[in-house]
Structure 1
Amino acid sequence: MAAQTGVESDEQLLARAVGDLSRRTRFPVVFAGLEHAGAVHITAIAGARTHSIEGLVVQASKGLGGASFVEGRPRLALEYRTSRSITHDYDRAILGEGISTLLAVPVMVAGRARGVIYCGSWHRSPVGDVVSRPAFTAAESLGTELRVRDEVRRRLALAAPPAAASSLPAAAREELRESYAELRSIAATVDDAGIRERLARLEQRLATLSSDASGPAEKVDTNLSPREIDVLACCALGSTNGEIAAALGLKEGTVKSYLASAMAKLDASTRHAAVMRARRAGILP
């Protein structure tokens, strides 16, 4: 899919993830690819000494990465050349690079593999938790961002251009508001500051699309915290305190405290009134 203006493509995102991982891992070679038409196409490579991996296309179930992709779990070949637990369809590429130990980690999105990240060593190397953790973290972060991108694309496809936002059908605007709340709940579980920043930009795009420009914004002298906005965004979807707690990874009592604080700041006697005032003030879409 072509990149939107100012937004990196999935392949560019993958290349950045591979570059970041290559600086954090002890493996000298890192490469990765996303799935297209049932096969993983390697498009990002860092640290390779040859060109043998370039253009590699890994079919499902074949090789170490193909097995990892189908099984949805990491696979390790401590001695790749003699491993009997995998097929050797891609020996020319892997052995051509001189790789001895190879780790393959699937990139999971909503329970389905969307790609594979490989980490390779030119010598037989032990692979414990400390060594493998950066690859697992990179795959998880990449999967999170791809999941968010998928949802944003799906929701934005339902929306009119920004210039027509005020004339959006009520159902379409509600869809966008649901997406906004879901993005905030996802962002609340992400530790990476860079990913949170990009999620915030996506939230703003959705807020702009779903805002009702038919009347002036109500001035509210308040300063809601990010967590209070998270809770109100979930309240806007009709979620119970228990459901909000589960979505945001909080205790139910903590949700009640955030909600009470937000209601007080908004001078609202009910959660519904708080949501409406927040929308009129432009705090919520």
Structure 2
Amino acid sequence: MGGQSGSDQLPGSESEAQVLARAVSDLARRTRFPVAFGGLEQGDAIHVTSIVGARTRSLEGLVVQASRGLGGRALVEKRPRLALDYRSARSITHDYDRAVLGEGISTLFAVPVLVGSRARGVIYCGSWAAAPVGDVVARPAFAVADELSSELRIREEVRRRLALAPTPAEASALAPAAREELRETYAELRSIAAVVEDPALRDRLARLEQRLAALSHAEKEPPLDLDVRLSPREIDVLACAALGSTNAEIAKTLSLREGTVKSYLQSAMAKLDASTRHAAVARARRAGLLP
């Protein structure tokens, strides 16, 4: 299969460090804590690369080792950790007092960013005075961590799919089983693209989808010259239907109501002049709209 680099940055897209920076800014805004910072895991350590609201430069370049300090514990234990009075906290090591106390932080809240079973990083929010951390703070912090987790998971999956995308020479020799796998990849990319917020990444996915559709076009039948415009959601639904998914399964995959899925299918069938979903899929493939 054609290869892509293992870099954390997808071509034309934000880097993971930039995605983290957006999350840290959101954390400061949504929790109302004056200081927010965070880092991604590299070599069993959190490398802090984004800081918002700091009054000093004490946190710059901070590297937190696994199990050490508040963030190191959150990373290893894969659960949030809180120090209401950081200076006197006995449940953590104080390896990073110079950085944390140097910023004047009193209360510190650390939330791990989990992608599957792996902790990919930690985001922190803190205050210079002792402050309670109840649901008002915890809920938005957890929400930011979840959103960042989803973004990182999507990017990992996109990188994996890009690495598996066939070259034109490989595509011409696709066996039936490989062709079906490619169609599954296409459908999954459509569902991923539906929840991606980064416009550049979404465009990159759209180009990859077009490439897959063109590469896997069957040569047994002449292509159809159809002047048909399917909406993105109609293509999403048809791509899932092409895999044999029921309306209920498509609804779950695309986070839609089952009735909405049925409506999209009927609309696509009408545009393609097809009486069944299977006929619609076949005509969409011959028209180069689906792989």
When structure 1 is superposed on structure 2, of 256-265 and 95-104 the one drifting more is 256-265
Q: Does the aligned pair in 2 maintain the 1:222–1:265 contact within 8 Å?
A: yes
Residue 153 to residue 5, structure 1, CA distance change in 2 (3 Å): closer
Which ranges in structure 1 are unaligned for 5 or more consecutive residues? none
Residue 101 to residue 242, structure 1, CA distance change in 2 (3 Å): same
Query: 1:58 aligned to 2:64?
Result: yes
State the AA in 2 paired with 1:202.
R
Query: 1:158 aligned to 2:167?
Result: no
Which ranges in structure 2 are unaligned for 5 or more consecutive residues? 1-6
Q: Does the aligned pair in 2 maintain the 1:155–1:176 contact within 8 Å?
A: no
Whole-angstrom CA distance in 2 between matches of 1:176 and 1:27 = 46
TM-score w.r.t. the length of structure 1 is 0.83
TM-score w.r.t. the length of structure 2 is 0.82
Shift of 1:115: 0.8
- Secondary structure at 2:120's aligned position in 1? strand
Query: 1:97 aligned to 2:103?
Result: yes
The equivalent of 1:202 in structure 2 is 204
Q: Does the aligned pair in 2 maintain the 1:62–1:87 contact within 8 Å?
A: yes
Instruction: Pick from 199, 208, 211 the counterpart of residue 213 of structure 2.
Output: 211
Identity of aligned residues (%): 68
- Secondary structure at 2:61's aligned position in 1? coil
Whole-angstrom CA distance in 1 between matches of 2:234 and 2:134 = 40
- Secondary structure at 1:96's aligned position in 2? coil
The equivalent of 1:117 in structure 2 is 123
Shift of 1:166: 5.4
1:11-36 Cα distance to aligned partner (Å, 9 max, x none)? 23222332344344412211111111
Whole-angstrom CA distance in 1 between matches of 2:56 and 2:8 = 29
The aligned length equals: 280
Q: Does the aligned pair in 2 maintain the 1:180–1:203 contact within 8 Å?
A: no
Greater relative CO (CA pairs within 8 A, separation 6+): 2
- Secondary structure at 1:183's aligned position in 2? helix
The equivalent of 1:126 in structure 2 is 132
Query: 1:257 aligned to 2:257?
Result: no
State the AA in 2 paired with 1:94.
V
Q: RMSD over aligned Cα, in angstroms?
A: 2.8
Q: How does 1:1-285 map to 2 (within 5 A)?
A: 1=7, 3-161=9-167, 167=172, 169-170=174-175, 174-188=180-194, 190=195, 194-195=197-198, 197-198=199-200, 200-212=202-214, 218-285=224-291
